[in-house]
Structure 1
Amino acid sequence: MTTNKTIVFVFLSIFALIISIALLVALSIYIRSSYIVLSAAVLSLIGSSLFLIRFLYRTFINETSTYKEKYTFWVMSYSMFIVVVFTIPLGYFINVYDQKRYTKNFLDLLNSVEFKSILKLGTENDVYVQLGNTNTGWSKTRLVLPESSNASMYLNNGYCGLNYDDDSSTSMKKSISKYLDKDRLKNNQIDLAKLSIMVHEFGHCLDMKRDFISFNTKLIPEKNTLIIGKNAIVPKMRSKAKDIESYLLLAQDSTLWKEVFADVYASGYMFVNHPNEAFQITKGLQEYRLKNKKDDPEHNSSCYLNVVLTSTKPKSNEELIKWSDKIREDKKCNSGFY
């Protein structure tokens, strides 16, 4: 084989090695693949590794090589092969480890002051909140997948489900608690940044549950429909929401409308229940939304949070929904809702 061809084959082997490792990890963590695809990746990984070992042997080892040199070569080759073989199930091991970590955090969160506050708030609003466990919440908070997030809320048949991961929320929590007194923060028995995020998600539950019959069985209309309201739909689109299918389609285009309510509701909750820190929490959240408006425009509620800071605050949890609706309906922010 000529030197030029050898160089090409060596680099192709290196490329194949790198791509195979990346592919195996990605397939193990993110995608349920067929055995054919996985087998092809494994064979590519092993084949490229063997070719590189063969090339290195022919390049550095010859008849004049000492025993020490040969011994070193084979030890390093064996070590490389072990590392390559270990890489094959690496994605699986990462999955298992992270799921165990998530399970531990889930159990801690289940008994936390923050989640108990959410349960209490749910009871006050006649809705049960279920905390997402490893089976229902891990992939939605830990993996980089479409619509995954550090925290999320989903509506099920008559109850709301909350997914939350503290590790994934580090950056957001840091921004929200930016203006809080650090010494007071350490001595506080409740994580207000975490609670603020969770109340935000609960706000989605309250905003949307008003529209579904499964949460409001006393309001069953004469006509056969699951939709009894359009509160979570942008006002200018509400006339198009005729049934469950059109409602769900329009809901996808109403993300900012829903996020505004959730942020405003969370801020209002803080002013009612933690008034000494509420202004700082809201200010931190406002700056976080503003900083990320280009990358995440559907969460840019900064203008409405500014309205919150300058408006009359709610006096009780019972006032929060109407108060949040009123702030969201403020047309000063010109968000194209009307």
Structure 2
Amino acid sequence: MLDKNRVVVAMSGGVDSSLTAALLKEEGYEVIGITMQIWPSSEIPKDNEGGCCSLSAVEDARRVANNLDIPFYVINFQDIFEEKVIKNFKDEYAQGRTPNPCIVCNKEIKFEAFLRKAKELGAYYMATGHYAKIDENKEGRYIIRRGEDLKKDQSYTLYNMTQDQLKHTLLPLAGYHKEETRKLAQEFGLRVYNKPDSQEICFIPDDDYNRFLKENYPQILKEGPILDVEGNILGRHKGLPFYTIGQRKGLGLETHKRWYVVKLDKEKNAVIVGENEDVFAKELIARDINWVAIVDLNEPMKVTAKIRYNTSAAPATIKPMDGGRVKVLFEESQRAITPGQSVVFYNEDTVVGGGIIE
């Protein structure tokens, strides 16, 4: 029997998850803090200030738990993280796509494996420091809405959540702005109140993708031609994973013309470049769709759609396709639509659903 008063908080050692634990305890919940060990112990960054995977981050989380007088555990999620997140990261790059490992981590680790662990501990709820809202609509369906702080809103990253996961998740920071979060954390006496936000991918603490791929997956880095959109050879590339749609710098082409990456052609092992206007498109196809606010898409629907986390949602129409895929038709051309990234659909501030760009 799960205890509705017990909640397990995913604690990263940062200000958001720390305040999440503090707020829930103040509300009267029985709070348990857990930091997920998702990296090999031999590769733990020692002094990555602000990073979510450093030894100092674990100790920060432990100190916050001690300060709040709540139980705290470090639990090993290394194997499942390696299998579900890092392997996907490598496989997607090997196929000429640009993955978003944080989206995969939310789906497979935070709201799947972590929630399963929370339930094993008898907790009805798990909680994170995401800036987004979980509500229940009039049809009794759980929905995700944008957080109050639109600059920090993380609803985009949560579109993969299932109804059961939403039912068992608390997001206490939904109504706060980041400045309020830091101020409240200081009032609670949490020393991490002014700790910098982590910006990098947790398993690449120096944010150097090229180095990580060279050291760990050199077999997917095969040199090949750089072609223009008409098929003319302009130069050589160092491996498809080193390039992304819309990229201009670092192409190494000896020409005065400005070239932009418009496509990564896996079959030809070629980087296709063109002019700036070639980077824009008005439609895309998405796969692996997860619907949140609706059960399924049976007819065209007008939405706004985001093709990456740090862009604005743009007006579009989504149409169902065979195989559970969706065609997205934008009213205005979008720059650098990138296969492997996620597209998320909104109805005003509510997440309708989302999927992976083909």
1 or 2, which has the higher strand percentage?
Answer: 2
TM-score (ref. length: structure 1): 0.27
> Considering only CA atoms, is the larger Rg found in Structure 1 or Structure 2?
1
